[in-house]
Chain A
């Protein structure tokens, strides 16, 4: 987790010569992430105070075990939203990945072939959407909407049934627990998700590509005038998002051990909500991957609290997420307004 927080220190720009460095005050660009962190800590604290057994570290680990797929999908979404775009197709691509994997495994294909193949399918869908968005100058919203219809339709065309996965590799990956300490454990999916987060954080913070992503989201025209490869970057972020969605689908199929065309209904909303609650500006150009990790944590912790609070029904999750979205969007609005 420490490594993840590095990029935000690294990308923090030095104070401008005219303005004195303000001490003891967090930088404004860090405010949203700090707010998310505070929220997460408060929620955890309240939960620990109110419910017995909540304070166990395993509860926190379970949040990641249960949401590893969402984390991976949200990482891809972060790239897209940082460029000022949006990707509505991720939930459908996740479902398509589970269906394709389940059907191919049922036909007896080896896991070593199926795994790369389903990843390739998702990546290709992302690439195609990126190409259409860039070359034909159509809004990301509508192109990824078509991508969503396409992937979901393809799922139903393949099969509308829920197909169990019995492949040895898949079940091993699903059931293997990495144990450490006093009986704490995480799943392989968590490790994969964390590796994805680390790679993505590194790419965003330390590579020219990452800087291009921020530059295009901040001001596309300036980025273009600076000679940055705007088109290539924009195509790349949708490809990355497609890949992340496919990988998230693989993790979900580990988690569910089934392929079903109705899996991951509305996951695109969860991913967008996680990114927004994590403090990434929806207009693009500002935000950190750490925020997305915290945002997924907040969503997971809400579910955990509602599971602990027996008299609350599941739909309160949606209402709380809506309220949090509202709060964070207002916060973003205040921060950007003051900066502007």
Chain B
């Protein structure tokens, strides 16, 4: 156990160093504005403090980001998660609002099961479009992203459905073992996913499918089921996130629930060090990435900058991270005049680990191929 532990910490130190550093810097910088930022007190039998607030606020995003990580690892992307969140919350609230007794635990459980079942179906739909019909992931999930918003509004009939159900409220706003229930749910889901993915061959298979679909097919891996499973998992995560979100405010808003969360989730995945081109991925990195984003939101709010302006900070973070991951940028930094040594094949996707050699068949988007070469060609011309 100590051996694996040491290996684990070694791994974390390598891949998660920067995300963790950003998070720490962000949290410490809060001390200047709110000296009591790190204090956690026990009140009414549960923990209370800014750190807990950040954790609680980031639960939906963490879930969505974890689902997104697995999808991105297969070389895909899921834009529909925000819509799935809205649908899941809308369906659960619709069912609960129709109950004779909104406080009946059985009815709430059935509503939750209904919402999660639909989320799984929607994930299955995405996965089928991508894996069985072979549509580009961005486009396949774009369909549900657009239509799903409409579906959510159809379910809520364009209104905001308010529910008054104590058992339902527990999911997003309740406390157990002094911790918010939503945080416990997220910990359970992430732990289960991590166990399943890292303790079985599943993670390796997903990475191989995302890293090089052709090679993994030749190696006898059935990519189709794996990819469908990834989208189903993303759908399920988004569904749970939708429940937490709507339970927290005891209402369902088909129009605004989960709005733009897909972009935040992608951002979280990128911050966590997973390359958008697929292949190697880091669940822990995405979790930290999601917490960073929410911490950033809250920090900006406490500083007193208009909260919408945090988009500007996000833009800066995305660009800086992508530049840091970009091999072309690093090569340019190293030496503009002559690039020494064949350290990396031309056209290598940004942030890909050095061991991975994407070739023409190596998946990824077509526009990826060869911009670095073209840069040189134009310089010579």
Chain A residues packing against B (C-beta within 8 Å): 83-86, 132-143, 145-150, 152-154, 156-157, 160, 216, 219-221, 224, 227, 229-232, 234, 261, 269, 272-273, 276, 282-284, 313-323, 325-326, 329-330, 333
A sample of 12 cross-chain residue pairs with beta-carbon separation below 8 angstroms, ordered by A number, consists of A135-B332, A137-B328, A137-B348, A141-B276, A146-B314, A146-B319, A146-B322, A149-B314, A231-B371, A269-B145, A315-B154, A318-B146
Interface of A is mostly: helix
CB atoms of A136 and B323 under 8 A apart: yes
| Residues of the B chain whose Cβ atoms lie less than 8 Å from the Cβ of A86 | 138
- Find chain A residues with CB under 8 A from B276 CB: 139, 141-142
How far, in whole Å, are A316 and B325 apart by their CA atoms in the complex?
41
Is the CB–CB distance between B371 and A234 below 8 Å?
A: yes
Contact between B149 and A318 (Cβ–Cβ < 8 Å)? yes
B342 CB within 8 Å of chain A: no
Task: Give B366's nearest chain A residue, CB to CB.
Answer: A84
Q: Which residue in chain B gives the minimum CB-CB distance to A156?
A: B308
A162 CB to nearest chain B CB (Å): 14
B interface SS class: helix
Query: Considering the complex of A and B, which 7 residue pairs feature the smallest CB-CB distances, nearest first?
Result: A322-B147, A153-B312, A318-B150, A153-B311, A156-B308, A150-B315, A315-B153
From the candidates B139, B146, B375, name the one contacting A231 in the complex (CB within 8 A).
Answer: B375
For A269, the closest partner residue in chain B by CB is B146
Task: Apart from A221-B369, A322-B147, A325-B147, list 8 A-B contacts with CB within 8 A.
Answer: A136-B332, A136-B350, A137-B348, A146-B314, A221-B370, A231-B378, A318-B149, A325-B143
Q: How many angstroms between the C-alpha atoms of A150 and B263 in the bound complex?
A: 13
Say if the beta carbon of B103 comes within 8 Å of chain A. Answer: no
Chain A positions within 8 Å of B164 at CB level: none
Distance of A7 from chain B, by nearest CB (Å): 23
Known interface pairs A273-B146, A321-B147; A134-B375 also in contact (CB < 8 Å): yes
> Which residues of B lie under 8 Å from residue A234 when comparing CB positions?
367, 371
Task: Please determine whether A137 and B315 come into contact, CB atoms closer than 8 angstroms.
Answer: no
Closest Cβ–Cβ distance, residue A198 to chain B (whole Å): 27
**Chain B interface (Cβ within 8 Å of chain A)?**
77, 133-136, 138-140, 142-151, 153-154, 157-158, 254, 263, 266-267, 270, 276-277, 306, 308-316, 318-319, 322-323, 325-329, 332, 347-350, 360, 365-375, 377-378, 381
Q: How far does the alpha carbon of A331 sit from the alpha carbon of B267 in the complex, in Å?
A: 32
Residues of B within 8 A of A282 (CB): 136, 138-139
B350–A139 contact, CB under 8 A? yes
Residues in A whose Cβ lies below 8 Å from that of B146: 269, 273, 318, 321-322, 325
- The residues of A that contact B327 with a CB separation of less than 8 Å are 137
Determine the chain A residues whose CB is within 8 A of the CB of B373 once the complex forms.
224
Contact between chains at B326 and A136 (CB < 8 Å): yes
Given known contacts A142-B276, A149-B312, A333-B134, A157 and B323 CB-to-CB distance under 8 angstroms: no
Q: Are B154 and A142 in contact (CB under 8 A)?
A: no
Given contacts A137-B327, A143-B322, A153-B310, contact A329 B143 (CB under 8 A): yes
Q: Of A133, A134, A141, which is within 8 A of B138 by CB?
A: A141
A132 to B329, CA, bound (A): 9
